[in-house]
Amino acid sequence: MTSLKEIRTRISSVKTTRQVTSAMKMVSAAKLKKAQDSILQIRPYADKLHEILTTLSASLENSEDSAFTEQRSPEKVLIVLISSNRGLCGAFNSSIAKTAYELAINKYNRQLKEGNLEFLVIGKQGEKYLKSRKMPIAGEANDLFDKLSFEESSVIASSLMQDFIVKKYDRIELVYNQFKNAAVQLCSAEQFLPVEVNDEIDELHHSSYHFIYEPSKEEIVKELIPRSLRIQFYKALLDSNAAEHGARMTAMHKATDNATDLIKELTLTFNKARQAAITNEILEVTNGAEALNG
């Protein structure tokens, strides 16, 4: 039977753990508010920009001539995996890393076998997962979340666009956690480059409006595509950042509740053990007194 001292030590240890998880929960909740505001503010802008870009590109006669919309056979593929630098956030990292791994195995299995598939990792946890499975990693940008800003993310996005233009890669995929709410994160895998243009234009919609473009539509598209790609990449980072804090807050909330329940169980066990020890002592005293009287 477990001694009273061992139970008391375990109760103290669980209480210390509960203090840590409770503090981490409050910190994540504070960070989540700021991260959530950022992603909710940029989403309408990013979606509208993408809508304008798609509409303009689809209406161009030679839209396929753009360097960013050139559809090539995906002989060389880069998968950008966005995870986090720290753990203690439930299945946040393992789920998205598994999604990227399965994307490489299932969709680009031929390129992987031929050595034409690489990963760019943003987040130490995703990097650990891929290295444990001996996946080819072309580079990492794990310090990006330390100073997350549009300027910093634009450097990476511009580098990816340049790699596509010079045909270092024929296709670039983004794999990240999309923020839905504090308790739900959606694993998302989307094509970053080349830009997919929808050729099916709603004729009724376009015939209802007559636009005058200044400068020309070609010049506008040429300017919009790089900007849209930078915004898209930054939005993916903000999505992942908000999803991370939401996942960590939820995980720490559950850990705190579990610690509270465990403390109650251990306290009950401790009280029962102490009561049993007191009862045994009383019985020993009583038996000794009866033996003396006898």
Domains and CATH numbers, the chain: 21-197+210-251 (3.40.1380.10)
Give the percent of the chain with pLDDT over 90.
65
With tokens 């991370």, the residue in question is 244
With tokens 């670039």, the residue in question is 172
Look at the alpha carbons of 88, 98, 46, 209 in this order and tell me if their dihedral is positive or negative.
negative
Q: What is the pLDDT of residue 60?
A: 62
Interatomic CA distance for residues 152 and 119, integer angstroms: 19
Quick one: tokens of 267? 């306290």
**Ordered mean pLDDT values, 10 residues apiece, the chain (294 residues):** 84 95 94 92 88 71 68 93 93 95 95 95 95 94 90 94 94 95 91 77 49 74 87 95 95 95 94 87 80 76
Residue type (1 letter), 193? L
In this prediction the pTM is: 0.86
Cα 134 from chain centre: 21
Give the percent of the chain with pLDDT over 70.
91
Interatomic CA distance for residues 234 and 226, integer angstroms: 12
Averaged confidence pLDDT in the chain: 88
